[in-house]
Amino acid sequence: MGIRNLFLFRKYTILTFIIILLLSALILMSLRVKQRKGVDYLDALLMEVCSPFQRASTFVIQTVHGIFREYLFFFHLQKENVMLKQKIAELQKENDRIKEIAIANERLTHLLQFRETFSFFVKAAEIIGHDPSSWFRSMTINKGEKDGVRKGMAVISPEGVIGQIFKTSPYHSTILLITDYNSAIDCLVQRTRAKTIVEGKGENRCELKYLLRTEEVIVGDRVVTSGLNGNFPKGLVVGEIRKVDKKGHGVFQYAELTPIVDLSKLEEVLIIMESSPLPKEEKGKKAKKDKK
């Protein structure tokens, strides 16, 4: 029986405690009505006892609320920062694209203006590749036999001579640059009209072969095509003489030339499709046909 009573007591402990609290509340309310002054003293005592706990709980609630609010603030701030960075990256990308379009437009406009004033029929092509080997100096373009491109055709830019077509396929061609060891172009020293052959020497230089020792040439003289080999029209600028050496013996003197065109920065070229000047009417027809 004792164990059973203990079990029942534990079972109804909470219920008993609640009943006692309710009775205490009723007693306090009745005292407040009957004896106001005594109850005020009891209320004050209860307030003094409870105030520290209320203050502590308020402080804890405010602290937790502040931390939570700051966490939300920094979370939203971080999220906004990521979004702004993405937006800046997108705007920078768009700005770079617009700049690239503007540069390409300026370059193509210059190419078109030169093409319209040139007396030969030319076709524009885009460079799509460079020879990775160190033995050859060549580039691949996006025009081939289907576009009328043939081996030996001269390749130029508004600045001057680039090279000539070396290989062709239906839709692509390879340009042999003037700096390649296999390149040779019949030329003239513009100032003195001295005849020479410009041969490639690799890197960014060429050599003036068969230039007579009696010819007076100086550093800075320009060299142009002679028009004798048929592929290159007469008068196209090839480059400038950067070195002259007459110290050796023999009939010819040594001279080096730097190409007038920066071959490392080319993006578009012009292929001379006709080696002789065209009449204005024929040129207009050819231009319309090429646009189509």
- Report the pLDDT value the prediction gives residue 198, as an integer from 0 to 100: 96
Any residues with CB less than 8 A from the CB of 40 and at least 6 apart, and which? none
Domain count, the chain: 2
Q: What is the mean pLDDT of the chain?
A: 78
Q: Which of 117, 135, 156 is the last residue of a domain?
A: 117
Please report how the helices 2-11 and 13-34 are oriented relative to each other, as an axis angle in degrees rounded to 10. Answer: 60
pLDDT above 90 covers a percentage of the chain that reads 37
- Does the pLDDT of residue 291 top 50, yes or no? no
Q: 109 and 59, same structural domain?
A: yes
In a domain, 17, yes or no: no
Tell me the CATH number at 158.
2.40.10.340
- Report the pLDDT value the prediction gives residue 32, as an integer from 0 to 100: 55
Q: What is the dihedral of CA 72, 75, 76, 77, to 10 degrees?
A: 120
Q: How far is CA 236 from CA 74, 89, 98, 107, 283, in A?
A: 67, 45, 34, 20, 19
Q: Per mean pLDDT, which range of 10-19, 29-38, 229-238 is the poorest?
A: 29-38
Digit-coded pLDDT (tens) for 158-173 = 889 999 999 999 999 9
The partner residues of 207 in beta bridges, in order of sequence, read: 199, 256
The predicted model scores a pTM of 0.61
Instruction: Report how far apart the first and last C-alpha atoms of the chain are (Å, whole number).
Output: 113
In a domain, 88, yes or no: yes
- Report the pLDDT value the prediction gives residue 191, as an integer from 0 to 100: 94
In a domain, 2, yes or no: no
By residue range, what is the domain housing residue 174?
121-291
Digit-coded pLDDT (tens) for 192-201 = 999 999 999 9
- Report the pLDDT value the prediction gives residue 120, as an integer from 0 to 100: 79
Q: Which of 68, 92, 117 is the last residue of a domain?
A: 117
Any residues with CB less than 8 A from the CB of 172 and at least 6 apart, and which? 128, 140, 141, 142, 143, 144
Q: 284 and 181, same structural domain?
A: yes
In a domain, 257, yes or no: yes
Q: Which of 79, 95, 117 is the last residue of a domain?
A: 117
For the beta carbon of residue 205, count every other beta carbon within 10 angstroms.
15
Give residue 250's region: left, alpha or beta (phi > 0; psi -120 to 50): left
Q: 273 and 167, same structural domain?
A: yes
Q: 189 and 48, same structural domain?
A: no
Q: 76 and 196, same structural domain?
A: no
Digit-coded pLDDT (tens) for 204-223 = 899 999 999 999 999 999 99
Q: 88 and 176, same structural domain?
A: no
Q: Who has greater pLDDT, 268 or 223?
A: 223
